[in-house]
């Protein structure tokens, strides 16, 4: 595989990752809004949902763009990138939860937030793992 083809494949993988992760976030957000509407807690879920979904949108965009940059410049550095990016996402997630805990005053909203944040985080963690394992297999198969 030529360097141009490899860069094209990396760019496509990053764009696909970003589109799919944003789609997952959008579907999860719609499902959360629908379930809140059914349970009659739509007013309680607004801010927690916005913060949890917003964090994941930012994290997914950052992860996808950073992955593309690392993969294009030095694909040998990808294992280190996966470890570092996962650690940074976890630290940023913990910081986001702690800041929300300090700023929120309603116990029910805090519970909604922690639950929503964990669901978003775990679903996207599983997606990231499965997606990039598949991408790595494809890269090594074409090498």
**What distances in angstroms separate CA 80 from CA 19, 74, 103, 125, one per listed residue?**
24, 11, 34, 17
Q: Which secondary structure element, helix H or strand E, spans residue 73, and what is its range?
A: helix 42-73
pTM: 0.89
Q: What is the pLDDT along the chain (143 residues), one digit of tens a residue?
A: 677 777 788 889 999 999 999 999 999 999 998 888 776 677 778 889 999 999 999 999 999 999 999 988 887 888 899 999 999 999 999 999 999 999 998 888 898 899 999 999 999 999 999 999 999 888 778 76
């Amino acid at each position: 595989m030529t360097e141009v083809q490899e860069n094209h494949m990396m760019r496509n993988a990053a764009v696909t990752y970003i589109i799919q992760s944003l789609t997952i976030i959008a579907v999860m957000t719609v499902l959360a809004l629908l379930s809140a509407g059914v349970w009659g807690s739509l007013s309680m879920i607004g801010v927690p949902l916005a913060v949890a979904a917003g964090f994941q949108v930012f994290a997914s965009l950052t992860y996808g763009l950073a992955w593309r940059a690392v993969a294009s410049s030095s694909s040998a550095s990808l294992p280190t990138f996966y470890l570092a990016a996962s650690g940074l996402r976890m630290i940023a997630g913990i910081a986001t939860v702690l800041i929300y805990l300090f700023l929120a005053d309603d116990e029910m909203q805090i519970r909604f937030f922690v639950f929503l944040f964990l669901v978003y985080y775990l679903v996207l963690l599983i997606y990231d793992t499965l997606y990039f394992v598949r991408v790595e297999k494809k890269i090594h198969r074409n090498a």
